[in-house]
Structure 1
Amino acid sequence: MASIVKLFSPNLPVVIEPKFRNELTRIRASGNSSSSSIALSSSDSNGIPFVNGIKESSNEGNGRLVSRKKQVGNVENELEVLWDDGYGTVTVKDYLELAKDMIHVDGGPPRWFCPVDCGKPLQGSPVLFFLPGIDGVGLGLCLHHKTLGRVFEVRCLHIPVYDRTPFGELVKLVEDTVRLEHTLYPNKPIYLVGDSFGGCLALAVAARNPSIDLVLILVNPATSIAKSQLQPIFPLLELVPDELHVAVPYLLSFVMGDPIRMASVNIDKGLPPAQTLEQLSANLTSLLPCLSDLADIIPKETLLWKLKLLNSGASYANSRLHAVKAEVLLLASGKDNMLPSSKEAQCLKKSLQNCTVRYFKDNGHTLLLEDGIHLLAVIKGTLKYRRSRNHDYISDYIPPSHSESELHKQSFGLRHVISPVMLSTLDDGKIVRGLAGIPNQGPVLFVGYHMLMGLELIPLVEEFLLERKIMIRGMAHPLFFTLDSAFAMDDNTMMDKVRQFSSVPVTPSNLYRLLSSKSFTLLYPGGVREALHRKGEEYKLFWPDQPEFVRMAARFEATIIPFGVVGEDDIAQLVLDYDDVMKIPILSDFIKDKNQDFMRLRGDAKGEVANQDVYIPGILPKVPGRFYYLFGKPIETKGRKELLKNKESANELYTQIKADIESTMSYLKEKREKDPYRGIIERTIYRTISAPTNDVPAFEP
């Protein structure tokens, strides 16, 4: 890593990069200034550690200090769509090399540091304190520093190798820092990310401070250390001769983590299998020798001390779970060979008052150092990111990064299978391939047809991201934002993806705020009734009578774009619809019971559109055909103030939009018959011979 070491100790001289020399105050430093990316804090005159001189000054970014009184504007307050979050540029090998730079003989005390590679966060970002696992180094978040550093003020706890601070004093250290931060910013949440042992520390601090707004992110917390699969061998570690101890951390590394997943972090997922295997082999070859360095990071006497610390920490935290009032996100690995993390997650969810669990069935104990774990995406998908007391769907919005988009495509792959054909209409009425007819500036309101189970959404969002770098913010059913819903699961589900990719609950106030912020907004007037239609009702619109979205669009002079999509009947066959399900007594009672818990939409509507019951239809997949989208001619509302006052004018435009959507679907159904690549076999042959991408031809518009 081409960055600067900033390793701080109260008893050693200062080594500071010139560009920071005038900004850093009251800090002492030591270390090798060649390969690391760390800036640690010192302590005050009483020996109490503080975060980056926080008593006198505040961190404008991650690793840069300015006086709180001198903070100025010019702070970037927005992230662009598909922003570069740096995920995948740091590996476990970097972690091991950085850790070696931090384990020089230093008996303490524990202290905080700011990773320089976190960069400058958005203005108003909350603080995030990382509490490390058994290694104590504090670099367990290094794969995520660049990503988290854009939306959090990141601080990491470093517990030196030869430090012997007992658990109670570690709790006091973190607690003092948390209380100070809360005093300075009482209306902002404080995040505690606790990895393994750090999870016990986070729970203990939360139990002692129920009145502070804390968000705990617990990663395989060590509260279950007494049930560890390794308990029988822990007493034997004392008997291992010093000359053989070098092998113990090496072996533990294989128990704690998955070397294959660790070595896969920076591999391009788009590579052919042969190249992927070659790169994986090279990564493993360079990584495995570095694992022996763990013997220096965790020497024998330190390992024995840390095991005692683990037991005392787990006992302390478990006895106080009832007092934890904080919001908790618990991440549990399915292949944790050190702790029974999956079972412990179930126990903690029952014991904690506000706990959300996400399982990662294929990962090991060192979850944050393994491939495929994008921590910010998980936080966003579970609605845990906020800058104030309550989560706000508009002001707390973070657009998807490039790596989030790539992980999203790998999770579904639907776009590659169905090869969507996107057509748009220019101002002169000409239909063209691609999205040239879509305006460059918002506010824009897309109004369209909702296919069965919203199958059209994923390709639509992906295409706008890739071709135009436009993030469409969809108005979704409130059930997607109810984490305890019967339709939500405890792993990384489709519902998390909906939330992660900027959808908001469908309410008039949210539509108002999206249009007022000039967003590209997606609305389905047909709602659940359209997305969960009955047999034979495909491509039929179920709209209410009120043209409210027309008046809302006119208020903000938004451009309305009607669109249609076809292809549902080429990919799935509906075999069990709502009417069929309601004839089965057990299922009928279940659906009625669960729908009573959901927010009722359009309770004042009449006719079929009022039937907004949610259920899971029975479908049979077909050999995939193709999806076809047509975005109609943009409808300008600028200057049409009559739409706000004249109900007849609003109704007229509402009827026109509905007719436009029906017309686009008729056009697409007719045109797709002339597409020589409508079938997946034809598209596969074309890609093999001509273009191994998604750019497969279709009919002429």
Structure 2
Amino acid sequence: MAAIGAPLFPPGFSLVSAILAIGTAFPSSRPISLGEKGTRYKKDGEKGLTPFAEDVELESGRERLRRFFDEAKDLTRWGGGPPRWFSPLESGSPSEKLPLLLYLPGIDGTGAGLTSHLKKLGKMFEVQCLHIPVMDRTSFRELVKMAERTVRSANDRFPDRPIYIVGESLGGCLALAVAERNPDIDLLLILANPATSFDKSQMQALFPFLELIPEQLQLSCPFILSLMAGDYSSTFKASTEKGLPPQQTVGELSKDLLTMSSYLSVLADILPKETLLWKLQMLESASAYTNSRIDAVKAETLLLTSGKDRLLPSQAEGARLNDALQRSQIRKFDDCGHFLFLEDGFDLVTIIKGVGFYRCGKVLDYVSDYLPPTPAEYKKLDESHRWFAEITGAVTLSTLEDGRIVRGLDGIPSEGPVLYVGYHMLLGLELSPIIRQFLNQRNILIRGIAHPLFFNKYRKGQTPGLEFSDILRMVGAVPVSGTNLFKLLSSKSHVLLYPGGVREALHRKGEEYKLFWPEQSEFVRMAIRFGAKIVPFGSVGEDDFGEIFFDYNDQMKIPLLRNWIKQLTEDSAKARYNTTGEVANQDFHLPWIQPKIPGRLYNCFGKPIETAGWKQALNDREKCHELYLQVKSEVESCLAYLKEKRESDPYRSIFSRLMYQATHGSASEIPTFQP
């Protein structure tokens, strides 16, 4: 069936990433099974489906640190005794509907590290945190056995529910050890700067020093507190971006320093000298124990590493673990310190969503397990792509029931299921404006069917840019399959389809605006089955932004490039089955493009085609093919209409648009031709 590329055009994208964003075809030969519950949308009256989840405001780094110490101070009152689990959220009895999340703390042992993330995590998980009392001297191996008992008990109670283990620093070693000992249990590990590289840590030098200093001095506390506070330059940078005067910026920094000094006594209670010595010894044994067994870990693993970790060489260690583990992926945070969960702007839930790491059952269901972005998450994505919208000045038109073409999306159906079937411009240039305008104007999230390459999370070879893939998954893309399309339509979603797929978006010289659709009518029968409205659309403007001067045919004549193309194609999962000709599984390649002074992008959505009355033709191949050809003809008509009408657009050039904004304000909508 149809194809989709990446939903948002990323800032600073590479051409390789852009190529790999190209969607692909629907494999009509794969079996189709009944889907489960649909995307968790809320009704929004005339605006149709609201894609946004409930928003939770993120706290600043300083507020996170304050909350951590407030919570840790309460937890230290538990005194001695064995380690214990506690639930930081108000909840009833354990539920098989939500996965269990076990948090294993770092060197502090309090279990309060996720305090600022709990509101969002509590909507997705049943959360339990491990607290290791200050005076407890349980060995690392005993901690492993304790966590193992908890994991096995939870698995016995709900065997079909995955168990997440979030391990921070020391907790990362603990999580890996538990996973190695329980390969038969469905575990997903999230490791933040795991301490498997402790033998290379600066903390090694503290051993002899700590043994000599008196208990009263607690000279190690300021060092550890500085690690938790992170880089003060971030405060200065944030103040500068807000336009605060120098005096106010200095005042903010002074206030931070005074606040931090007040935490020293709490930190001294959490990590007195003898406890710190014990924890450092435990880190040493934990690192050695875990590294000797790392090759046997089979659990799915997400590695989160910091670039400014002054305690451990976390990014180098993350790369090593990513190579050693069987099913791992990694995300790097260059400006963050060791205590990642306390960093300003770090959002664990957003990371889990973007990586596609959340599931409620044994197998990830890209439709029912999908968590829509919160308003804050979408706002951040939208702002990061605003530059592309300003450069392209996209014009979007739609067609009303009476056939009139109007600017905007008033002609788009509010209720699904809807299939948007169109032409895939070079490198998917049309995608970002379409996705943004549907969300901003109509509050509709289009679910795209993307190439499987974006969902091969544990492939260690060539993969598209990580940020690019994460954005793709955040806005609801699913890997191409008959089952996923079935589930999307059964949940009344709005789905974006490109029958031309890779062949259309990676076309050769002189092939712009030429449709490369398969002979068989792939998507029509599925649309009829669910009574989906089909909205044909065309997109033009690629020839105003660049021109291909070195295409696939040219590259295949050069041995080095030919081998690169073949290798990249072999590393990519096939997306089309039983298809021949131009639109069969295409070789991935990088077309060389000569940039032009930017023109303007145009999208025109035709009149929706009703399929509700076509049920009797569901098994009539000729009738279905007739509808297929009608949709194709409508797409070609949209292309022809836009190519003609754009000639009369006085603001087709970026210079004329800049002049208009200079005189009318940057927020003003720039006019175009009369539809």
TM superposition score normalised by structure 1: 0.82
* Map of 1:573 onto structure 2: 547
1:196 corresponding residue in structure 2: 169
| 1:187 alignment partner AA | D
Alpha-carbon distance between aligned partners in 2 of 1:274 and 1:557, rounded to the nearest angstrom: 54
Matched, 1:290 2:259: yes
Does residue 458 (structure 1) correspond to residue 432 (structure 2)? The answer is: yes
User: Per-residue deviation at 1:510?
Assistant: 1.9
Cα distance change, pair 296–424 in 1 and its aligned pair in 2 (3 A): same
1:554 counterpart letter in structure 2? I
Alignment counterpart, residue 359 of structure 2, candidates 386, 401, 413: 386
- Residues 279 and 147 of structure 1: CA distance in aligned 2, closer, same or farther (over 3 Å): farther
Alpha carbons 1:121, 1:151 under 8 Å: kept = no
Comparing 503-512 and 80-89, the one that deviates more: 80-89
Stretches of structure 1 lacking an aligned partner (at least 5 in a row): 1-75
User: Which amino acid letter does the alignment assign opposite residue 476 of structure 2?
Assistant: S
Residue 536 of structure 2 is aligned to residue 536 of structure 1: no
1:251-307, CA deviations, whole angstroms, 9 ceiling, x for partnerless residues? 333345633587599x79xx9641599997776554433333144233333322221
C-alpha displacement of 1:86: 1.0
Shift, 1:214, TM fit: 0.5
Q: 2:221 matched to which residue of 1?
A: 249
Q: Given the superposition, is the C-alpha separation of residues 379 and 120 from structure 1 closer, same or farther in structure 2, using an over 3 Å criterion?
A: farther
User: What is the Cα deviation at residue 464 of structure 1?
Assistant: 1.6
CA distance in 2, matches of 1:116, 1:556: 41
Q: Which residue of 2 aligns with 1:655?
A: 629
Aligned to 1:83: 53
Of stretches 614-623 and 164-173 in structure 1, the one that deviates more from structure 2 is 614-623
Contact in 1 for aligned 2:461/2:571 (Cα 8 Å)? no
**Residue 339, structure 1, aligned to residue 307, structure 2:** no
Closer, same or farther: CA 230–563 of 1 in aligned 2, 3 Å: same
For the 8 Å contact 1:423–1:432, the answer to whether it is kept is yes
- Whole-angstrom CA distance in 2 between matches of 1:188 and 1:533: 45
- Looking at structure 1, the residues matched to 484 and 461 of structure 2 have their Cα atoms a distance apart, in angstroms, of 24
Alignment-mate amino acid for residue 221 of structure 2:
P
Q: CA deviation at 1:162?
A: 3.1
Supply the AA of the counterpart residue of 1:440.
Answer: S
CA deviations over 1:391-429 (Å, ceiling 9, x no partner):
111221111222221332344442343232222111111
Matches within 5 A, 1:77-476: 81-89=51-59, 91-92=63-64, 93-104=66-77, 106-116=79-89, 124-245=97-218, 248-255=220-227, 258-260=230-232, 273-274=242-243, 284-292=253-261, 293-297=263-267, 298-413=271-386, 414-476=388-450
Give, in angstroms, the shift of residue 184 of structure 1. 0.6
Is 1:195–1:220's contact at 8 Å kept on the other side of the alignment?
A: yes
For residues 695 and 189 of structure 1, the distance between their equivalents in structure 2, rounded to whole angstroms, comes to 48
Deviation string 1:338-375 (CA, Å, 9 cap, x unpaired) is 11112112221232222222222332222222234332
Provide the C-alpha distance between the structure 2 equivalents of 1:325 and 1:460, rounded to a whole number of angstroms: 40
- Alpha-carbon distance change, 615 to 628 in structure 1, aligned in 2, over 3 angstroms: same
CA distance in 2 between counterparts of 1:667 and 1:531 reads 20
CA distance in 1, matches of 2:249, 2:183: 46
The structure-2 alpha-carbon separation of the partners of 1:350 and 1:444, relative to structure 1 and needing over 3 Å to count, comes to same
* Contact kept in structure 1, 2:59 and 2:344, CA below 8 Å: no
User: How far is 1:194 from its partner?
Assistant: 0.5
2: CA distance, partners of 1:360 / 1:402: 23
Matching residue of 1:643: 617
Change (3 A) 1:283 1:438: farther
Q: Aligned pair in 2 of structure 1 residues 320, 116: CA closer, same or farther (>3 Å)? A: same
1:240–1:536 Cα change, 3 Å? farther
Q: Distance in 1 between matches of 2:159 and 2:236?
A: 41
Task: Say whether 1:488 aligns with 2:463.
Answer: yes
SS at 1:422 equivalent: strand
- Name the CA shift for 1:599/1:110 in 2 (closer, same or farther; >3 Å): same
- Report the alpha carbon displacement of residue 87 of structure 1 after superposing the two structures with TM: 4.2
Identical residues among aligned pairs (%): 51
Does the residue aligned with 2:612 lie in a helix, a strand or coil?
coil
Q: Deviations over 1:151-173 (max 9, x none)?
A: 11122222233333222222222
State the 1:446 CA deviation. 0.7
The TM-score with structure 2 as length reference comes to 0.85
1:171–1:507 CA distance, 2 compared to 1 (3 A): same
- The one-letter amino acid paired with 1:85 is D
Q: Deviations over 1:113-148 (max 9, x none)?
A: 223389999981111111111122222223322222
Alpha-carbon distance between aligned partners in 2 of 1:498 and 1:132, rounded to the nearest angstrom = 31
Report the CA distance between 1:611 and its aligned residue: 5.4
Larger displacement relative to structure 2 (617-626 or 335-344): 617-626
Distance of 2:231 and 2:410 partners within structure 1: 46
Q: CA, structure 1 residues 77+563, in 2 after alignment: closer, same or farther (shift >3 Å)?
A: closer
The verdict on how the C-alpha distance between 1:552 and 1:205 changes in structure 2, with shifts beyond 3 A counting, is same
Structure 1 residues 573 and 404, CA, compared in 2 at 3 Å: closer, same or farther? farther
SS of match in other structure, 1:635:
coil
2:96 and 2:161 in contact (8 A); partners too: no
For 1:546 and 1:121, the matched residues in 2 are separated by 50
Query: What residue is the counterpart of 1:32 in the other structure?
Result: none
Paired residues of 2:524 and 2:628 also in contact (CA < 8 A): yes
CA gap of 1:232–1:686, structure 2 versus 1, over 3 A, is farther
Query: In the TM superposition, what is the alpha-carbon distance from 1:454 to its structure 2 partner?
Result: 1.7
The verdict on how the C-alpha distance between 1:107 and 1:207 changes in structure 2, with shifts beyond 3 A counting, is same
* Residues 85, 146 of structure 1: 8 Å contact kept: no
- Distance in 1 (CA, whole Å) between partners of 2:301 and 2:205 is 31
Give the drift of 1:226. 0.6
Supply the distance in 1 between the matched residues of 2:654 and 2:248 (Cα, whole angstroms): 31
Q: Would the aligned equivalents of 1:423 and 1:630 in 2 still touch at CA under 8 Å? A: yes
Runs of 5+ consecutive residues of structure 2 not aligned to the other structure: 1-38, 43-49
CA contact (8 A) 1:262 1:369 kept: no
Partner of 1:14: none
| Separation of aligned partners in 2, 1:214 and 1:276 | 50
Check the 8 A contact 1:624/1:679 in 2, yes or no: yes
Q: Contact 2:231/2:337 (CA < 8 Å) preserved in 1?
A: no
Residues 698 and 187 (structure 1), Cα distance of their counterparts in 2 relative to 1, 3 Å cut: same
